[in-house]
Amino acid sequence: MNIGSEKFASFPQTRLRRLRRHEWSRRLVRESRLVVDDLIWPLFICEGRQRAEPISSLPGVERLSVDRIVEAVAAAIDWGIPAIALFPATPAELKTPACQEALNPDNLVCRAVRAVKEAYADQVGVLCDVALDPYASHGHDGLVRDGYVVNDETVDMLCRQAVVQATAGCDIIAPSDMMDGRVGAIRQALDAANFQHVQIMAYAAKYASAFYGPFRDAVGSSANLGSGDKRTYQMDPANHAEALREVALDIAEGADSVMVKPGLPYLDIVQRVKDTFGVPTFAYQVSGEYAMLAAAAAQGWLDREQAIGESLLAFKRAGADGVLTYFAREVAELLYRR
């Protein structure tokens, strides 16, 4: 950015602290703002009735049975949160190498989507991940052949999974698998099944990150993955230009919006993506980021509200249009009180 500093008077005529002296003045010159419209709230689903299971690596986040999900979504709507994301903790006995449960129209996530849509229709947007890991006995996002996660065969499954989720009522299909060519294939499959209006938010630049650990505990996939990793399909944390290629491909294939993930450690990518493509760009403040902030706040080492607010504002400053964050409901409440 050219700030044209040669045109400015210098000190002592210019004193930048003048504008910072009072809160009313700081408010007038504030360049970015976090509002409730920026928030997408991820929720974890478990089997059962009236159940809320704590997740030890995500203190304050619980897996909720479908009936409790519906209650949580009522709160989200009350606080003005525009969309939620649903993630199933599939019972271990339903996880298989071929991930058939992903295509079951009565699987946990489909039942939750239907319940939310029956209760609230279009008062809230519902996003579903498309990837096979919640259904995989091996914990991978795709099908494994000879120890390798195969691309094209996985994409066929993902297309069917997307149609199953759209049939249940999902508004935003979010492929989080990082297979090549999946966005175009899913768009075609959705259109062929008459779901032209269903959006695709591509996890376009998704890195092979250590910050997903608590999420894998939440959906019960860490044990399945074991010592395995996702580096043959998720991006290398060292890469920058490659992220732009990933995003360019997903946009060309028909993504309505794109996402960068994780969030704060990859803020440079968020900014570059937004500046380069100008499309709706989202960031995922992932489970490990939540866990770090929550743990430090619990120790009294950080002011919880301030640290959460600052971390989310940073995404807006970088150019993100919105953020998926486990803090969404808490932040919505804070923003309302302010």
Q: Which residues are catalytic?
A: 206, 261
Q: Which residues pair with 85 in a beta bridge?
A: 42, 127
Query: Can you tell me the distance from the alpha carbon of 298 to that of 59, in angstroms, rounded to the nearest whole number?
Result: 9
Count interface residues toward ligand PBG (CB under 6 A). 11
Vertex 292, ends 288 and 297: CA angle to 5°?
A: 145
Vertex 174, ends 195 and 162: CA angle to 5°?
A: 45
Contact 203, 257 (CB under 8 A): no
Q: Is 131 in the site for ligand PBG (CB under 6 A)?
A: yes
Out of 65, 154, 257, 287, the residue judged to bind ligand PBG by CB under 6 A: 287
Q: Least separation, in Å, of the C-beta of 203 and ligand PBG?
A: 7
Q: Is 107 in the site for ligand PBG (CB under 6 A)?
A: no
The span from the first CA to the last CA of the chain, in angstroms, equals 32
- Please identify, using beta-carbon distances, which residue of 119 and 160 lies nearer to ligand PBG: 160
Q: Is 141 in the site for ligand PBG (CB under 6 A)?
A: yes
Token pair 């250590």 is found at 210
Q: Least separation, in Å, of the C-beta of 295 and ligand PBG?
A: 15
Q: Which stretch binds ligand PBG (CB under 6 A): 92-100, 108-116, 128-136, 251-259?
A: 128-136
Q: Is 212 in the site for ligand PBG (CB under 6 A)?
A: yes
| H or E stretch at 45 | strand 39-46
Q: Is 291 in the site for ligand PBG (CB under 6 A)?
A: no
Query: Can you tell me the distance from the alpha carbon of 143 to that of 97, in angstroms, rounded to the nearest whole number?
Result: 7
Query: Can you tell me the distance from the alpha carbon of 87 to that of 68, in angstroms, rounded to the nearest whole number?
Result: 14
Contact 317, 31 (CB under 8 A): yes
Q: Least separation, in Å, of the C-beta of 183 and ligand PBG?
A: 15
Q: Which stretch binds ligand PBG (CB under 6 A): 212-220, 248-256, 304-312, 327-335?
A: 212-220
- Please identify, using beta-carbon distances, which residue of 216 and 304 lies nearer to ligand PBG: 216
Q: Which two tokens stand for residue 147?
A: 């120890």
Q: Is 170 in the site for ligand PBG (CB under 6 A)?
A: no
Burial 110-121 (b: 16+ CB within 10 A, else e): bbbbbbbbeebe
Q: Least separation, in Å, of the C-beta of 301 and ligand PBG?
A: 22
- CA 325 centroid distance within chain: 7
Q: Is 286 in the site for ligand PBG (CB under 6 A)?
A: yes
Cβ atoms within 10 Å, residue 15: 10
- Please identify, using beta-carbon distances, which residue of 97 and 276 lies nearer to ligand PBG: 97
Q: Which residue is nearest to ligand PBG (CB)?
A: 215
- Please identify, using beta-carbon distances, which residue of 68 and 230 lies nearer to ligand PBG: 230
Q: Is 246 in the site for ligand PBG (CB under 6 A)?
A: no
Q: Is 215 in the site for ligand PBG (CB under 6 A)?
A: yes
Query: Can you tell me the distance from the alpha carbon of 236 to that of 2, in angstroms, rounded to the nearest whole number?
Result: 31
Q: Which stretch binds ligand PBG (CB under 6 A): 189-197, 208-216, 250-258, 305-313?
A: 208-216
Q: Which two tokens stand for residue 203?
A: 């996890």
Out of 34, 63, 86, 129, the residue judged to bind ligand PBG by CB under 6 A: 129
Q: Is 79 in the site for ligand PBG (CB under 6 A)?
A: no
Which residue ranges make up the site for ligand PBG (CB under 6 A)? Answer: 129, 131, 133, 141, 176, 212, 215-216, 230, 286-287
